[in-house]
């Protein structure tokens, strides 16, 4: 059993999720995804575990989205490339445990993935 959190220390939701994971006592790995950017293959794997399309994990309030991507119709491969090249666009935090993953923006999602 392995748990990974894709974390941004400047994000309050991500910091809450990290605290919850720490308190759970479960061992986990922290990936500061803005520095250790997930590869295109890693993004595909994460999306499969989330059971989401790339557009579903795009942060649509980010400046880069508004300037470069808003209103564009991109195919999944193009969105994955955009997420890889602009990791700030990736929703956070994402917690992956084995073959499941969640966007852990609330306590229920965090607890749900920890208790799998």
CA gap 50, 83 in Å, rounded:
15
Residue 11 known to be catalytic? yes
CB 26 within 8 A of CB 3: yes
CA gap 90, 103 in Å, rounded:
10
Task: Out of 4, 11, 26, 52, pick the active-site residue.
Answer: 11
| Nearest in space to 14 (alpha carbons), one of 93, 77, 70 | 93
Catalytic site positions: 11
């Amino acid at each position: 059993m392995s748990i990974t959190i894709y974390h941004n220390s400047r994000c309050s939701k991500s910091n809450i999720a990290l605290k919850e994971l720490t308190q759970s006592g479960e061992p986990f790995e922290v990936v500061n995804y803005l520095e250790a950017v997930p590869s295109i293959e890693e993004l595909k794997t994460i999306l499969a575990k989330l059971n989401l399309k790339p557009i579903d994990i795009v942060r649509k309030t980010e400046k880069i989205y508004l300037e470069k991507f808003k209103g564009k119709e991109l195919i999944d491969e193009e969105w994955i490339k955009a997420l890889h090249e602009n990791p700030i666009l990736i929703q956070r935090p994402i917690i992956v445990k084995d073959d499941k993953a969640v966007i852990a923006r609330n306590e229920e999602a965090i607890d749900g993935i920890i208790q799998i």
